[in-house]
Homo-oligomer: A and B are copies of this chain.
Amino acid sequence: MSVDLELAPKTKRPAGEPCCTPVVYPDVDREQALRLAAVAKALGDPIRLQLIDVLRKHAGKVCVCELVPLFDIAQPTLSHHLKKLRDAGIVDSERQGLWAYYYVIPGALDDFSAWLS
């Protein structure tokens, strides 16, 4: 992986103790960090995390009218959370007549999962 951030070892130190002898390297560049953090941010809400949990375990498309009664929030709030997950590229939706069916985009969490492991 490429290194995006530079490393500037400290020179001034009041004592002779070794402060900056071990050099650290970031393995994730800024753009990759932005993408991964966007996914993490989308998962950083309990309701959205449970939404992903439901959609993933179901392994299919789930109607919004099924998701609403699962959580103690108003319908516009749920729609807002689903939009956040859509904007993060984690889920997508499909309209069938009057209903909207949501599903987790296959492989959308792979990069983040790989970084975390």
Contact = CB atoms under 8 A, between A and B. Distances in A.
A97 interface: yes
Contact of A117 (B47, B67, B113): B113
A106 to B, nearest CB: 15
Contacts of A69: 6-8, 10
Interface residues of A, number: 58
A73 to B, nearest CB: 12
18 contacts: A8-B69, A9-B66, A10-B66, A17-B96, A19-B99, A22-B58, A22-B60, A23-B66, A24-B66, A24-B67, A26-B50, A27-B54, A30-B50, A33-B46, A40-B44, A40-B49, A109-B116, A113-B117
